[in-house]
Structures are given as C-alpha cells and as structure tokens.
C-alpha cells in the first residue's frame, strides 16, 4: 500500500527531472534556473512540448500561433462575461476550458491532434481569466493586439493598460518557474483522464480542478491571504502560534517531495521577490515571508517542513498587484504547458490507468428485506 501514492512511479518521462541530491530541476535536460534567467515562457513551452529548444524561425512561428489562438469562441466569451461576479476565477477558468470543447471535432485521438488542442487551450487561457476579471469589475474586455509575449498579454488584458517591461519579465519568470513540475497531482490527473482516450479539453479541465485544492495550487491564494492577515512583521509569531495551536497547516510550507531541504525553485523566486521589493521600495511582504520562513522553520523543520514556491509566489504576485484570487488561475495558465506535455507524452504509448485497492469492508452479508430491517443504533449520515 502506498498512501497518497507516495514514491510510486507511474510512467517514464523525458519532460522534467527533479534532482533532490543536488537540489536542481531540469526541463528536458536544461537547468530551470538558466531557463528562468535567459529564456522566455514561449521558448520554455516550445521546449516542453516539442522536446528541444526552438530555432529563431520556429520560435517566431510558435509565438504567432499562440497569438492567433488568443481568442475565445463566442459561447465561451458569453459564459465568462456572464458568470456570477462572486465566482472564483479558477472555477470560471475550469468551466471555460470545458466549454471550449463544445462544437469541436474531437474524433482524432492522435498525440498530434491533442497537442494542437493543447496549444489552443494554453493560448486562450489568459484571455478567459482576464475577461472574467474585468467583467466582474464592470469593465469591458481588452484584447491587447500589440502584446509581445504571453506574460505581457496576460497582464495587459487583466489591467487594461500595458505593463512595464520589468513587470512583464517578472511574470514571464513566474510562468517559466510554474510551467512544469513532474508528476504532481494535477499532471497525474490530466494523464489519468487522458489515458481513457478522453480529449485534451477533458484532461485540462480535470487538471485545473485538481490544482484548485489548498494542498496543491490553492496554497498560493491561501499564502497571499496569510500575508494580508499577518500584515505586520511583528504579528508573524502570534499568527503562526495560533494556527499551529488550532491544528491548522501553514500555507506555503511543506511539500511531498522536498522533505530534506527546500524546493530548488525558491532560489529564483527569492531573488525575484527581492528585486521587486527593491524596485518598489516596499519590503513589507518580503520581510513578512522571510520572518515566516525563519519562525515556521524553527518550529517545523525537524518534520521536514520548508517553505514551498507558493510562499514567495504570493509575495511576487503582491508586488505585481494581482488580485489575490488571480494567483491560482495565473498558476494554471503557466502549468498548462506541463499538463499538455505530459498528456501528449503518455498518449504516444497509452495504457489505461486503472489501479486497484485493498478491500476492507464486510463480507458475505445476506440481503434483509426493507420491511424487516431494524433501525441501527448509530445512523449513517
């Protein structure tokens, strides 16, 4: 038995290697920290999807393809615009991706067909999120024609005005860092759904549903809410003590695979958070996160609990002035690359995922007619 499937290898993959010994992450053999420093999200997506870095011409073609797919079918546009304002943006995004399948010819089940569906979905996710966000604020949608990158397009479509080059680059780095992370819960969900030969829309819809949970991507919203609740560096200890005393978990801490040291992605995120704090002359969120790291570490590092990416992602998104509930769809927009890569890779040698379980329930009971059943002493439900 493997509770939580901990340590179980479910497939062979050439997409992402997490080297715990050396605290490194490699996307298709390339150091993620180098990609975050020198690459762009578009280039990284190309690498994840097609297995190698693109040439100048290939990158240009791919960027054009993404730009061409940055639109929503009219029924999806209407659905997103008219969604209840109180809806969570991640739920709206999940519903939008599901609705994108309607009217599409889904009969071709080849990896190539799923890949082109994946590129289409990935390209249109920022617009779905931005249209909903602006509609709930009573603002009309913006489609930034002049946007030069996925990151710029997203921030521009959300805010209605062009972001600075620095903000765009910060979002680009976040997209690269969040793009892929091996067989996490949402990637496994996408692959599991796709292993039935369900289409890419179904797989990504399911992956977004998985990402939502607070033990997975939802932690980046909870971490931002925690920063807001704490609000002053002097409140950190009191806040943490009260959470632990109530038996609650601290968002942005702990990870299924990083139990012997921190997540390697933190090096990039901490440095980016530091740069943004310095540029803005506002160290408040960074300092709260740093104090949290010290204090939670002093209490929980003996259990193998270290900060995870969501703590510093929350800080970075604060400096980028993202509304807190946008943190999660932002993660989904970036991670779509990894989901598509895993689904396509698995489809190439597909085998239905169908595990088993150990039965522990009662045996050989005899059916009792309804009229003869007695009320049990403890009722169910």
Residues within the interface to ligand COA (CB under 6 A)? 4, 214-215, 219, 249-256, 300, 303, 305, 308, 310
Q: Please, which residue, 135 or 224, has the CB nearer to ligand COA?
A: 224
CB atoms within 10 A of CB 313: 26
The catalytic position among 150, 216, 310, 342 is 310
Catalytic residue flag (residue 263): no
DSSP 8-state assignment for residue 17: E
| Active-site annotation holder among 69, 255, 275, 325 | 255
Query: What strands, in cross-sheet order, belong to the sheet with 24-27?
Result: 16-19, 24-27, 30-31
* Choice between 120 and 335, CB closer to ligand COA: 335
Whole-number minimum distance, CB 309 to ligand COA, in Å? 6
Task: Using CB positions, name the residue nearest to ligand COA.
Answer: 254
**61 vs 294, beta carbon nearer ligand COA:** 294
Residue nearer to ligand COA on the CB measure, 65 or 256: 256
Q: 62 vs 306, which CB is nearer to ligand COA?
A: 306
Residues 6+ apart with CB under 8 A from 176: 32, 35, 36, 39, 40, 41, 44, 334
Shortest spacing between CB 297 and ligand COA, in angstroms:
11
Place of tokens 């995870």: 308
In the bound state with ligand COA, the residue whose beta carbon lies nearer, of 296 and 336, is 296
Q: How far is the CB of 252 from ligand COA (least distance, A)?
A: 5
Q: Which of 264, 266, 276 is nearest to 316 (CA)?
A: 276
Structure tokens at 206: 């399911």
Supply φ then ψ for residue 363, to 5 degrees.
-130, 150
Angle between helix axes 327-347 and 41-50 (nearest 10 degrees) is 30
- Least separation in angstroms between CB 251 and ligand COA: 5
DSSP state of 307: B
d(CA 194, CA 342): 10
To the nearest whole angstrom, how small is the minimum distance from the Cβ of residue 216 to ligand COA?
6
Among the listed residues 327, 336, 280, 286, the one whose alpha carbon sits nearest the alpha carbon of residue 158: 327
Chain centroid to Cα 231, Å, comes to 25
Q: Which uninterrupted H or E stretch holds 18?
A: strand 16-19
Closest approach, Cβ 249 to ligand COA, in A, equals: 4
The DSSP annotation for 250-296 comes to PTTB--SS--SS--THHHHHHHHHHHHHHHHT--HHHHHHHHHHHHH
**150 in catalytic set:** no
Q: Which residues are catalytic?
A: 255, 310
């Amino acid at each position: 038995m493997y509770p939580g499937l901990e340590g179980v290898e479910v497939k062979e993959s050439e997409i992402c290697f997490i080297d715990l010994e050396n605290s490194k992450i490699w996307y298709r053999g390339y150091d993620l920290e180098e990609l975050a420093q020198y690459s762009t999200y578009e280039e990284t997506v190309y690498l994840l999807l097609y297995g190698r870095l693109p040439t100048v011409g290939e990158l240009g073609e791919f960027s054009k393809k993404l730009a061409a797919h940055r639109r929503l079918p009219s029924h999806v546009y209407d659905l997103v615009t008219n969604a209840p304002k109180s809806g969570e943006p991640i739920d709206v995004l999940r519903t939008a991706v599901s609705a994108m399948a309607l009217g599409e010819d889904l009969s071709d089940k080849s990896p190539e067909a799923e890949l082109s569906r994946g590129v289409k979905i990935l390209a249109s996710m920022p617009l779905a999120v931005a249209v909903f966000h602006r509609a709930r604020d009573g603002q009309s949608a913006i489609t930034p024609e002049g946007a030069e990158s996925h990151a710029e397009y997203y921030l521009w479509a959300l805010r209605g005005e062009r972001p600075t080059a620095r903000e765009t680059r910060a979002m680009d780095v976040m997209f690269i860092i969040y793009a892929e992370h091996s067989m996490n819960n949402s990637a496994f969900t996408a692959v599991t759904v796709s292993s039935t030969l369900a289409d890419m829309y179904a797989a990504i819809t399911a992956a977004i549903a998985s990402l939502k949970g607070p033990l997975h991507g939802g932690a980046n919203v909870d971490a931002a809410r925690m920063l807001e609740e704490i609000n002053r560096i002097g409140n950190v200890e009191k806040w943490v003590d009260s959470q632990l005393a109530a038996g609650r978990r601290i968002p942005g801490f702990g990870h299924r695979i990083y139990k012997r040291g921190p997540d390697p992605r933190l090096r990039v995120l901490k440095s980016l958070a530091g740069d943004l704090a310095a540029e803005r002359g506002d160290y408040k969120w960074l300092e709260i996160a740093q104090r949290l790291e010290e204090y939670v570490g002093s209490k929980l590092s003996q259990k193998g609990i270290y900060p995870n990416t969501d703590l510093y992602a929350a800080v970075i998104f604060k400096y980028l002035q993202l509304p807190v509930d946008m943190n999660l769809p932002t993660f989904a927009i970036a991670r779509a690359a990894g989901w598509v890569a895993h689904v396509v890779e698995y489809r190439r040698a597909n085998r239905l995922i169908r595990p088993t379980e150990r039965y522990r329930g009662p045996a050989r009971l005899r059916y009792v007619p309804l009229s003869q059943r007695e009320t049990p002493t403890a009722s169910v439900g």
